[in-house]
Structure 1
Amino acid sequence: MMTGMTLATAFTKLFGVRHPIASAPMGGSAGGALAAAVSRGGGLGLVGAGGGEREWLARELPVVAGGGHPWGVGFLNWAADVGAVEQALEYGPEAVALSFGDPSPFVETIRAAGAALIVQVTDLEEARRALDLGADVIVAQGTESGGHGARHGRATLPFVPVVVDLAAPVPVLAAGGIADGRGMAAALVLGAAGALIGTRFQATAEALVEPASAEAIVKGRGEDTERNRVLDIARSSPWPHQYTARTLGHPYLDRWRGREAELAADPRARDAYQADVARGDLPSLPVWAGEAVDLVNDLPPAAELVATLAAQAEEALARAGRPSTGGA
């Protein structure tokens, strides 16, 4: 494994981290231990605070705060309130990441605390708004990503360079379908200052996921993933309709695919879902997974994974920079 050059970018300089890698603030599963491990490994670990449940924050944030490494915390704009962000800021994160919906209610609070503002965007209108609000880092999320994303978004490969051009000189992280160092190298070649990686970090020793979900990610294939609203409706999860979720296969997908309006109008079906979960016939959460899930084959410690991803990226860039030896 290469240990030569380090990949210095505007992102690594901004946060004083060794590698241009951030772990996605995956709601509930990216707890303090995962963020701490990523940061210890030389990336920027982001705690996934979701809607900002106070007890959860009080339990998870002390695990990463005060560890001597830069870290951050992420919230869902549509679900969180300013009080939750204020609570998180008391622990001294270097960054707060905002995703999905209007970030503007939180910006002044984050600025006043001196934390960097990271805003995830799924289209150019959101990117322009984030830049107008003074985002320090933009995350350009493509539709290959696991979990929630734009229903009518764009793929990572064409989306990232457009956002890079729009945002310059503000650094951009690429997100969606990146699960190894080759994807990370591709992000850098597209002009991104690094990668925000989700699914790959779900399958680590420190992630707060059920063992069965971690195993499903390791065994999962990209072709088995699907983006839809069915599971949000079945779970009575109030996600805004413009965001759908990419998951691995699920019995309720097969049962209700294409019949979302019917499911939404049928409280008995949603009660049945809860009953199936309570009985143990269904996992308590869908298995969120992106299209690059094929590349996830093990459950390493997250700090070790950061180093592996960085070394793979260096190797990929070095390989791409060598002249071809094949004939035309």
Structure 2
Amino acid sequence: MLGIEHPILLAPMDLVSGGKLAGAVTSAGGLGLIGGGYGDLDWITKEFEEAGNQAVGVGFITWSMLKQPGLLDKTLELGPKVLMLSFGDGTEAVQKARAAGVKTLWQIQRLEQAEMAIKAGVDIVVVQGQEGGGHGMDRGLTALLPAVRDLAGPDQVIVAAGGIADGRGLAAALMLGADGVMMGTRFWASNEAVGPDAAKRQLVDSKGDDTIRSKVFDVVRGLDWPWHFSGRVVANKFARKWHNNIEALQENADAQREVYEASDPQDYATRVLIAGEALDLIDAIESAEQIVDKTVSQAAALLKNGANFLAR
């Protein structure tokens, strides 16, 4: 469907998955997606230029995109290979993208959301488990993924996301019913990702046990996220202070926002560091090409040796 060599997609991480990283993943044989996030068109346009002549896609936080009339139309004019929609009703956007000849992805966290995406005619359903970094819900990938496959039938293209950072995750996802995987945190810790080296080093030094799903950083940053979505982040001093006392944080949101914004942007005891449970599997900052090559090589070896699990 996508004309790619390897079934690996870059998650469109807001302000992290820039054109350089997206282009590098595509160059390595996967497909890179630029993180359109909340919808900064100037940033998105610049990052498409950074991708050079590599075919890349773009992903949006759907509820935020829908608040900005004209954003989708202007983005489609940039010629993305795919459009990914997450967190909201993407039906209208799927129709617009189809009319523009652009393939679509819709990320879901519940079976009812998968039904909506399939009904809208989406090309690829992205099944996101709660293990993933950033926003999501609370269902684990290993039960949700095969359930979506059973619901969707054999012909629907499905991609797995959440907690996948190496070839073991890719091989397992294929056995659970996916056609490919989408990786975020693993590519965050890459040479090409947008962001400071301090953040990437922190990712390498942190573990999955250090992460939590929380509303703290939505509240303190004044982000109007639907309440049923929470964000998986590395639990730092600020998050631990307020995680179990969200109501008090809401009551003091203005004052705490001043504290947050006054901190050094690389002070990760205060500032948010978005990451998933796959941190345990990341021990180095590498190039996107190295990450893709290692992932597919490991998955291929595992799949080839799968017959060894059968009794002779």
Gaps of 5+ in 2: none
Local SS of the residue matching 2:305 = helix
Q: Does 175-184 or 51-60 show the bigger shift?
A: 51-60
- Is residue 232 from structure 1 mapped to residue 232 from structure 2 by the alignment? no
Distance 1:281 1:194, change over 3 A: closer
**Could you say which residue in structure 1 is the equivalent of 2:18?**
31
- Is residue 171 from structure 1 mapped to residue 157 from structure 2 by the alignment? yes
**Could you say which residue in structure 1 is the equivalent of 2:94?**
107
**Could you say which residue in structure 2 is the equivalent of 1:298?**
284
Distance of 1:146 and 1:188 partners within structure 2: 21
| Residue identity in the other structure for 2:38 | G
**Could you say which residue in structure 1 is the equivalent of 2:228?**
242
- Is residue 154 from structure 1 mapped to residue 168 from structure 2 by the alignment? no
- Is residue 307 from structure 1 mapped to residue 296 from structure 2 by the alignment? no
2:237–2:270 CA contact under 8 A, matched in 1: no
Q: Provide TM-score, normalisation by structure 1.
A: 0.89
- Is residue 49 from structure 1 mapped to residue 62 from structure 2 by the alignment? no
Shift of 1:325: 8.8
Distance 1:82 1:163, change over 3 A: farther
Q: 2:127 aligns with which of 140, 156, 168?
A: 140
**Could you say which residue in structure 1 is the equivalent of 2:198?**
212
Shift of 1:25: 0.5
| Residue identity in the other structure for 1:159 | L
Local SS of the residue matching 2:24 = helix
1:65–1:92 CA contact under 8 A, matched in 2: no
Distance 1:273 1:323, change over 3 A: closer
Q: 1:197 aligns with which of 175, 183, 186?
A: 183
Distance of 1:155 and 1:247 partners within structure 2: 17
Shift of 1:177: 0.7
Local SS of the residue matching 2:306 = helix
Local SS of the residue matching 1:79 = helix
**Could you say which residue in structure 2 is the equivalent of 1:128?**
115
**Could you say which residue in structure 1 is the equivalent of 2:70?**
83
Aligned length: 308
Shift of 1:206: 0.5
1:61–1:88 CA contact under 8 A, matched in 2: no
| Residue identity in the other structure for 1:181 | G
Distance of 1:127 and 1:281 partners within structure 2: 38
**Could you say which residue in structure 1 is the equivalent of 2:304?**
318
Q: Provide TM-score, normalisation by structure 2.
A: 0.94
Shift of 1:298: 1.0
Distance 1:323 1:276, change over 3 A: closer
Q: Deviations over 1:170-198 (max 9, x none)?
A: 11101111111001100000110000111
2:168–2:298 CA contact under 8 A, matched in 1: yes
Local SS of the residue matching 1:15 = coil
Distance of 1:158 and 1:324 partners within structure 2: 23
Shift of 1:320: 2.3
Distance of 2:120 and 2:274 partners within structure 1: 30
Distance of 1:79 and 1:22 partners within structure 2: 23
Q: Deviations over 1:61-104 (max 9, x none)?
A: 1222532xx42110110111352222222222221000011112
Shift of 1:36: 0.3
**Could you say which residue in structure 1 is the equivalent of 2:244?**
258
Superposition RMSD in Å = 1.8
**Could you say which residue in structure 2 is the equivalent of 1:97?**
84
Distance of 2:106 and 2:25 partners within structure 1: 20
Q: Deviations over 1:195-251 (max 9, x none)?
A: 011100100010002111100111111111100101211122222211111111211
**Could you say which residue in structure 2 is the equivalent of 1:9?**
none
2:160–2:180 CA contact under 8 A, matched in 1: yes
Q: Does 97-106 or 78-87 show the bigger shift?
A: 78-87
| Residue identity in the other structure for 1:312 | Q
Distance 1:281 1:94, change over 3 A: closer
Local SS of the residue matching 2:170 = helix
Shift of 1:308: 1.3
Distance of 1:282 and 1:145 partners within structure 2: 19
